[in-house]
Amino acid sequence: MPFFGVPIRNGLPIGLGSVAGFGVQQFDPSQLFAGGTVAGAWYDPSDLSTMFTTDAGTTPVAMPGQGAGVAVGLILDKSGNGNHARSFGAGASTTRPELRARVNLLTYSEQFDNGAWTKQDSTVANTTATTDPLGGNTADILTDNAVNAEHRVFQTPTNTAGTYVWSFWAKANTLSWLHLGIPNAVGSRQDIYFDVGSGALGTVPAGYTATITSAGNGWWRCAVTGNTQANAYFVLSPSTANNVQSYAGTGQSLYIWGADLRPANIGANVPAYQRIADANTYDTSGFPLYLRFDGVDDSMYTPANLNLSGTDKVAVFAGVRRNATVTQFPVEFSSSDSNNGAFGVGADSGGAEYFFNSRGTTLRQIVVDNAAYNAPVSNVVTLSADIAAPSMIARLNGTQVGSNTSSQGTGNYGTYPLYIGSRNNSTFFLNGHLHSLIIAGSAVSAGNISATEQWVAGKTGIQI
């Protein structure tokens, strides 16, 4: 079936254009380092020219989604300070984060006839009896078998528990009702019904929201949002009426196309559908690039120590997605918060969603305990700290969420490795995505904080 190069049509939310330009605005973080007098670092996974597959920097990365995984062993510092970060483990491939732009957790989203989709008491075949919602020939026909059963096609992706969006397109043929089966947060099956002949919703369980929207030529985009358990299934089956799950099949059918399952909070500015074949072959147009850290051993650091000994002020900006509620460090300066002149941003496995550290000779911390930031979640994370003032301000998605004016002791920040995605390359590994990371060893004005957060939000695919 055709896969790439399809333009927007019928109002379907499929973005095309430059991924590297995703979210680019007039402000540029290089302004934080203007004149070359501000120490720090700036890592930008949306800029392919700054990344290499090995730590030696000899092989540039390729665009992901083209059929192969893209490991990143080296990412260059765009601040002009030369604080390049490499993977830990002498270039071992298992410790490198992976460059991705994938958000759809399913595979073969337009090929329900593929073996990735299990069929039970049904058959699925590609058809030319109708065009797909984009006018192509990738539509499938779902036909019931001659038994009294649920005539289903399903896939079970890998996901963590949380709030997700299930979506697909369907069109009536000899049947017009279609049913989506999904598990709730404790694994009990939830059944949502759609009439793709008239465009009407049927039964929608409490706690879930559903929509059915015309896509033209008889096609309807169906979507459901709600909570689910880990490793949620995605079941589609034709039906003869609302609330009819099983029936005696007689060879009746309807058309299906374009399945997508993703976290509900993956980003407001990310296209609502992503075409995908296998896990490494997918549409990247309009989707933000990120470094995927596996939560096991992926880590990066600056082997040449980042020298912040000339400043008692620092600002940290990061576009982060946490996929699991575990203790993890998206970024930490030095191997431990017990070292003088250290700082970091982490999250724990308990009730606190984020914590922010800064230390002169005395450690101070801001703890953000708010269910709005429960994993899985994408956030723009900001820490502004001043040892001498003293002050710490924590911001999430452009809003202040905490402050601390207790003494941090004395002195400046130190000269240490900057660890990205772990503590000391050995523990508290990030299970999630890094879309952007900026460290500025200076005070940053309120206007530039806001502008930087907007820039990072654009790279992360969220709106603040």
Contact 57, 74 (CB under 8 A): yes
Report the pLDDT value the prediction gives residue 137, as an integer from 0 to 100: 94
Instruction: Write the burial class of residue 47 (CB in 10 Å: 0-12 exposed, 13-18 middle, 19+ buried).
Output: middle
Report the distance separating Cα 355 and Cα 344, nearest Å.
Answer: 8
| Average of per-residue pLDDT across 427-453 | 97
Give me the domains of the chain, ranges plus CATH numbers.
Answer: 29-101+289-460 (2.60.120.200), 118-263 (2.60.120)
Quote the mean pLDDT of the chain. 92
Please determine, for residue 216, whether its predicted confidence score (pLDDT) is greater than 80. Answer: yes
C-alpha R_g of the chain: 24
Query: Is 360 strand, coil or helix?
Result: coil
Can you read off the two tokens belonging to residue 380? 């723009």
Read off the pLDDT band of 10 (50, 70, 90): very low
First-residue to last-residue Cα distance in the chain: 38
pLDDT of residue 376: 86
Percent of the chain past pLDDT 90, that is, above it, reads 84
Please tell me the least confidently modeled range out of 19-23, 271-275, 458-462.
19-23
- Per residue in 315-329, pLDDT (tens digit) is 999 999 999 889 999
Q: 63: pLDDT confidence band, cut at 50, 70 and 90? A: very high
As a whole number, mean pLDDT of residues 394-398 equals 97
Q: How much is the pLDDT for 125?
A: 98
Sign, CA dihedral 279-281-283-285, equals: positive
pLDDT (0 to 100) of residue 92: 62
CB 95 within 8 A of CB 430: no
Per the rule left: phi > 0, alpha: psi between -120 and 50, beta: everything else, 432 is left
Q: Is the pLDDT of residue 409 over 70?
A: yes
Question: 363 forms bridges with which residues in the sheet?
Answer: 359
Which band of pLDDT confidence, cut at 50, 70 and 90, is reported for residue 19?
very low
pLDDT tier, 463 (very low <50, low <70, confident <90, very high otherwise): confident
Q: How far apart are CA 166 and CA 404, in angstroms?
A: 41
pLDDT band of 90, cuts 50, 70, 90: low
| pLDDT at residue 351 greater than cutoff 80 | no
Structure tokens at 40: 């720090």
pTM of the predicted model as reported, rounded to 2 decimal places: 0.90
Q: What confidence score (pLDDT) does residue 145 get? A: 98
Mean pLDDT, range 57-71, rounded to an integer: 96
